[in-house]
């Protein structure tokens, strides 16, 4: 199934008229680490190498923020807060505020282990696919420094363009405003290797 999906993506230029009309400079897709990418690294690496795929690792430095996003997204799949429709990304401040009203309660009994597992998964992904043509881009760096997009364009050997996203950030400001049991989380991580995640990083 994975190979068939990859073929559909990377044969796109051959199957459509986009390339003939110079409409597509590059094709690709977002592949989350928990969607099979880590289960078959040998076969996927062979495919990437054979097809000359360029890999962009888009990671977060702050795994606690990532956990908040995951929990909020999981909640909205059931609650469907925006007019009965689940969305992962929003395009207006009003929509962002609606979704941000939900504050997840984080299980502090497994919090350190959960954060450690997230970091380990990201590290393993970089190890598995280290031999590919790749670049690492951190979410926080991109927010702080739009020049990172130019680095991505150069990596993909694309002409430089003025890029702009229509997406609006949902969880703005300090994490204390987005976690229901913030005091418990703060107490659990204080003095640990993950204490740095408690601070606002952008």
Residue 19 has pLDDT above 60, yes or no: no
**Mean pLDDT of the residues in the chain:** 91
Q: Mind listing the pLDDT tens digit for each residue in 174-194?
A: 999 999 999 999 999 999 999
Q: 3-state class of 139 per DSSP?
A: helix
Interatomic CA distance for residues 68 and 148, integer angstroms: 24
Q: Are 72 and 34 in contact (CB under 8 A)?
A: no
Q: Which of 11, 51, 45, 5 is nearest to 27 (CA)?
A: 11
* The pLDDT of residue 136: 97
Distances (CA, A) of 155 to 13, 56, 87, 139, 175: 20, 9, 30, 17, 33
Q: Mind listing the pLDDT tens digit for each residue in 48-96?
A: 999 999 999 999 999 999 999 999 999 999 999 998 999 989 999 999 9
Q: What percent of the chain has pLDDT over 90?
A: 77
* The pLDDT of residue 171: 93
């Amino acid at each position: 199934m994975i190979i068939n999906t990859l073929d559909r993506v990377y044969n796109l230029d051959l199957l459509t008229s986009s390339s003939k009309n110079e409409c597509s400079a590059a094709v690709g897709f977002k592949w989350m680490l928990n969607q099979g990418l880590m289960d078959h690294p040998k076969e996927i690496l062979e495919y990437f190498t054979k097809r000359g795929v360029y890999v962009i690792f888009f990671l977060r430095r702050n795994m606690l923020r990532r956990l908040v996003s995951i929990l909020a997204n999981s909640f909205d799949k059931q609650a469907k807060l925006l007019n009965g429709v689940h969305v992962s990304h929003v395009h207006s401040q009003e929509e962002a505020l609606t979704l941000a009203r939900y504050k997840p309660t984080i299980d502090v009994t497994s919090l350190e282990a959960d954060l450690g597992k997230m970091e380990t998964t990201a590290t393993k992904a970089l190890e598995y696919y280290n031999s590919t043509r790749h670049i690492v881009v951190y979410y926080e760096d991109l927010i702080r420094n739009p020049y990172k997009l130019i680095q991505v364009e150069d990596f993909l050997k694309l002409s430089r363009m003025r890029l702009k996203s229509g997406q609006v950030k949902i969880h703005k400001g300090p994490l204390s405003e987005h976690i229901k049991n913030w005091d418990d989380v703060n107490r659990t991580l204080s003095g640990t290797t993950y204490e740095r995640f408690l601070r606002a990083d952008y």
